[in-house]
Amino acid sequence: MSAAPWWCASVGYEVYLRSFSDSNGDGIGDLPGLRARLEHLEWLGVDLLWVTPFFRSPMHDQGYDISDYRDVDPTYGTLADFDSLLADAHELGIRVLVDLIPNHTSVEHAWFQESRSARDNPFRDYYIWRDPAPGGGPPNNWVSVFGGPAWTLDETTGQYWLHLFLSEQPDLNWRNERVARELDEAMRFWLERGADGFRIDAADGLVKHPNLPDNPVAAATWVGPPAGIASDWGSLEHVYDVGQPGVREIHRRWRALVEPYGALLVGEIGLADPEALALYVNDQDGLHLTFWFEPMEIEWEAATIRKSLSAAAAASDHLAWVQGSHDRPRAATRFGGGDVGRARSLALAVLMLGLPGVPFVYQGEELGLVDGLVLPEEAQDPISTRAGEHGLGRDGCRTPMPWEPGHGLGFTTAQQPWLPFGGRSAADTAAVQRDDPDSILRRFRRLLRLRRTPPWGSAPLEWIAEQGPLVAYRRGTVLVAANCGDEPAALELPPGTWTLAYATQEPEGREATGSVELGPASAVVLVSPA
Ligand code: NOJ
Ligand code: CA
């Protein structure tokens, strides 16, 4: 990256606020709770937080349905709490990204209330309204990410509103300049308070084809996120509803807006093709970074992991690397669960940490957490409760953080948290792991230290030819390798003496020449003096 902006050497961390830490005993995580836990994040070595939405919301989609962009929902605290959080975070050298949700609002937003009240209301054009199809029914064949039609009929005005997510999340009309200006103001509001940038929800949505044509039926099963959430979404090719010309203009507008603040824009774009994804970040006039989601979907298999990381890194050095989020099953679960899943997730974190771009940790990954068990009757996610797809629901990765052993696990003093803990043991907790030098937490922390003074500098990335189950790359005098197989494997080293700068399964410092043996699901960072 040229001229190394501040975020280049950062370690990102996603805080799923609702499940991070509860300060007032109502069983729901909140801003003061997060503030009280900043010390954990600073100790861990994280310096860039993405905090999931805390704006006013009726919470049909846990805050991704905003009814006021410029206020904090009382569930999460107050504006003063946000200011205090920010002040403390900055004091500790931690920057904070606010979750910007520009594609849709809540049905309870004042704009939508106005918009739906009459066809000639001045806010009508803030949203996308259409007459029923000639024979009746929705205007086109578009579907919601959460399943079912992307249209809901408003009985009062006799037209349908468009919603790519829940019907309570009407899509804004980005062809209306007034909408763009409203969102500018929302962004300025948080930047003026000191926010360090935005994670941008559904960043390739926003603009829709002006004629709203039917989407073609999918030829093959769609594999990118959020595939699997609801099969309806995967049944169509998303030709006219997302990724439209005009989206990048909006990103450019935002870039110009945030530049004077030195703020960062990180986009959520679920494209499975790295080349297509790179178009959103490589010109450096729009989003600074975009997440690469494929590692949240892939199997634990050397060739697959190598291909996913190397193809993305070849397409762009402006990627945010993730293996988990509040939308997908946890990496340790997907990679086999238990100690094996944990070890694999840590090894993948090692591979991601040395790549150009910015790694993000999803809360609890540093503890090696697997998904919490949430019974159908305890479900909260609309994918379970509405779409009826409990197995695909997102509650398992959203269960509360286990901070310490005992009732409430240090997360809450309430009898019941908003979602069950899902079967955590004392060994899962941050407090117990902090005292154990061999815990996943302590190994994670040692790993993240490498970002402080990265031994790879800005050396170019070269992938090392396949050696059985090993995935490895070199950056100048640094070699990063993981064993993605089930047996020990020896990595042939280039000539010279190599020192273990980091290892997931042994202490640092050992020297190696010729080859180094890696246990199954282990990873190393080696440095040569040359
Ligand atoms: C992506 C968010 O991560 C997800 O949780 C949410 O449901 C959708 N966007 C809709 O805003
Ligand atoms: Ca609370």
Domain of 522: which CATH number? 2.60.40.1180
Residue-level pLDDT at 481? 98
pLDDT at 226 over 80: no
Ligand 1 close to Cβ of residue 168 (< 6 A): no
pLDDT at 507 over 80: yes
Residue 11 lies in a domain: yes
Confidence of residue 349 (pLDDT cuts 50, 70, 90): very high
Atom of ligand 1 nearest to the CA of 165: 10
pLDDT at 415 over 80: yes
Any idea what the CATH number is for the domain that residue 122 is in? 3.90.400.10
Same domain flag for 311 and 284 = yes
Residue nearest to atom 4 of ligand 1 (CA): 327
**Ligand number nearest to the C-alpha of 199:** 1
Interval between CA 26 and ligand 2 midpoint (Å): 5
The 3-state DSSP class for residue 99 equals: strand
Closest listed residue to residue 2, CA positions, set 353, 250, 311, 288: 288
Interval between CA 390 and ligand 2 midpoint (Å): 26
User: Residue 5 and residue 426: Cα distance in Å, rounded?
Assistant: 40
Residue nearest to atom 1 of ligand 1 (CA): 201
Ligand 1 close to Cβ of residue 366 (< 6 A): no
For 316-335, what is the mean pLDDT?
97
Same domain flag for 510 and 495 = yes
Same domain flag for 194 and 333 = yes
Closest listed residue to residue 450, CA positions, set 487, 490, 517, 503: 503
**What rounded mean pLDDT belongs to the chain?**
95
Same domain flag for 242 and 330 = yes
**Ligand number nearest to the C-alpha of 54:** 2
Residue 222 lies in a domain: yes
Is the pTM here over 0.85, yes or no? yes
User: Residue 122 and residue 118: Cα distance in Å, rounded?
Assistant: 9
Confidence of residue 220 (pLDDT cuts 50, 70, 90): low
Please give the DSSP secondary-structure letter assigned to residue 83.
H
For 277-303, what is the mean pLDDT?
97
Cis before 226? omega within 30: yes
Q: What are the residues whose beta carbons fall under 8 Å from the beta carbon of 438, sequence distance 6 or more?
A: none
Ligand 1 close to Cβ of residue 64 (< 6 A): yes
Residue 172 lies in a domain: no
For residue 184, CA distances in Å to 102, 250, 254, 257, 386 come to 10, 10, 8, 8, 33
pLDDT at 43 over 70: yes
Ligand 1 close to Cβ of residue 61 (< 6 A): yes
User: Residue 382 and residue 386: Cα distance in Å, rounded?
Assistant: 5
Atom of ligand 1 nearest to the CA of 61: 7
Same domain flag for 399 and 480 = no
Confidence of residue 530 (pLDDT cuts 50, 70, 90): low
Residue 417 lies in a domain: yes
Question: How does pLDDT run across 54-87, given as a tens digit for each residue?
Answer: 999 999 999 999 999 999 999 999 999 999 999 9
What count of other Cβ atoms lies within 10 Å of the Cβ of residue 95? Answer: 21
Ligand 1 close to Cβ of residue 101 (< 6 A): yes
Atom of ligand 1 nearest to the CA of 394: 5
Ligand 1 close to Cβ of residue 230 (< 6 A): no
Residue 504 lies in a domain: yes
Residue-level pLDDT at 1? 43
For 152-167, what is the mean pLDDT?
97
Ligand 1 close to Cβ of residue 99 (< 6 A): no
**Ligand number nearest to the C-alpha of 73:** 2
Residue-level pLDDT at 228? 43
Which of 450, 483, 506 corresponds to the end of one domain?
450
pLDDT at 2 over 80: no
Interval between CA 64 and ligand 1 midpoint (Å): 6
CB contact at 8 A, 164 and 171: yes
pLDDT at 459 over 50: yes
Interval between CA 63 and ligand 1 midpoint (Å): 9
The 3-state DSSP class for residue 286 equals: coil
Same domain flag for 417 and 308 = yes
User: Residue 116 has which token pair?
Assistant: 């739906």
Residue nearest to atom 5 of ligand 1 (CA): 327
Residue 86 lies in a domain: yes
Same domain flag for 218 and 307 = yes
Ligand 1 close to Cβ of residue 271 (< 6 A): no
For 470-485, what is the mean pLDDT?
96
Interval between CA 447 and ligand 1 midpoint (Å): 29
Interval between CA 317 and ligand 2 midpoint (Å): 38
pLDDT at 223 over 70: no
Residue 376 lies in a domain: yes
Same domain flag for 443 and 463 = no
Any idea what the CATH number is for the domain that residue 357 is in? 3.20.20.80
**Ligand number nearest to the C-alpha of 29:** 2
Q: What are the residues whose beta carbons fall under 8 Å from the beta carbon of 47, sequence distance 6 or more?
A: 10, 11, 93, 94, 95
In the chain, the number of structural domains is: 3
Residue-level pLDDT at 219? 74
The 3-state DSSP class for residue 263 equals: coil
Question: How does pLDDT run across 107-118, given as a tens digit for each residue?
Answer: 999 999 999 999
The C-alpha R_g of the chain, in whole angstroms, comes to: 23
Residues with a known catalytic role: 201, 268
Atom of ligand 1 nearest to the CA of 146: 7
Backbone φ and ψ for 292, nearest 5 degrees, come out as -110, 110
More confident residue, 330 or 233: 330
Ligand 1 close to Cβ of residue 327 (< 6 A): yes
Confidence of residue 454 (pLDDT cuts 50, 70, 90): confident
Interval between CA 373 and ligand 2 midpoint (Å): 22
Pocket mutation for ligand 1, best pick of 50, 64, 69, 97 (most atoms within 8 Å of C-beta):
64
Question: How does pLDDT run across 177-210, given as a tens digit for each residue?
Answer: 999 999 999 999 999 999 999 999 999 999 999 9
CB contact at 8 A, 191 and 258: yes
Same domain flag for 101 and 126 = no
Same domain flag for 384 and 408 = yes
Residue-level pLDDT at 229? 52
Residue nearest to atom 8 of ligand 1 (CA): 64
Same domain flag for 101 and 119 = no
Type of residue found at 494: P
Same domain flag for 263 and 290 = yes
Tokens 């695909």 -> residue: 392
Which of 450, 485, 500 corresponds to the end of one domain?
450
Please give the DSSP secondary-structure letter assigned to residue 312.
H
Type of residue found at 266: V
Residue nearest to atom 3 of ligand 1 (CA): 327
Residue 171 lies in a domain: no
Domain encompassing residue 133 = 110-162
Backbone φ and ψ for 192, nearest 5 degrees, come out as -65, -30
User: Residue 10 and residue 359: Cα distance in Å, rounded?
Assistant: 8
